[in-house]
Structures are given as C-alpha cells and as structure tokens.
C-alpha cells in the first residue's frame, strides 16, 4: 500500500540494533537518542 501511494523506504536502517544490560537501559536509550539526532542533522 505504501509503494502504491509513492512512498519509498530505504533498506538500510537509520540506527543499528542496540543491546544493553537491564541496569543500563536508560543510559543506552539516551545514547541511542543522541545518535538518532546526530544522524538526522
């Protein structure tokens, strides 16, 4: 349906998958958020 309406998606992810220990989830999410912001600027 998306292709019919003209949307094109890249096969390459913007960010790689992230693994973190349970006690470091917040820290990992903050780092991943920072990486996302840097990649779109």
Query: pLDDT by residue (tens digit) across 3-33?
Result: 788 888 888 887 888 899 999 999 999 999 9
Which among 32, 31, 27 is positioned nearest to 15, based on CA atoms? 32
CA neighbor of 16 nearest in space, from 32, 38, 34: 32
At residue 16, the pLDDT reads 87
Domain span including residue 8: 2-40
Number of domains present in the structure of the chain = 1
Which pLDDT band, with edges at 50, 70 and 90, does 1 fall under?
A: low
Are 18 and 32 in contact by the 8 Å Cβ rule? The answer is: yes
Is the pTM value of this prediction over 0.75?
no
For residue 12, what pLDDT is reported?
85
């Amino acid at each position: 349906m998306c292709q019919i309406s003209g949307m094109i998606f890249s096969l390459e992810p913007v960010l790689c998958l992230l693994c973190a220990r349970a006690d470091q989830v917040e820290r990992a999410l903050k780092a991943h958020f920072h990486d996302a912001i840097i990649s779109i600027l």
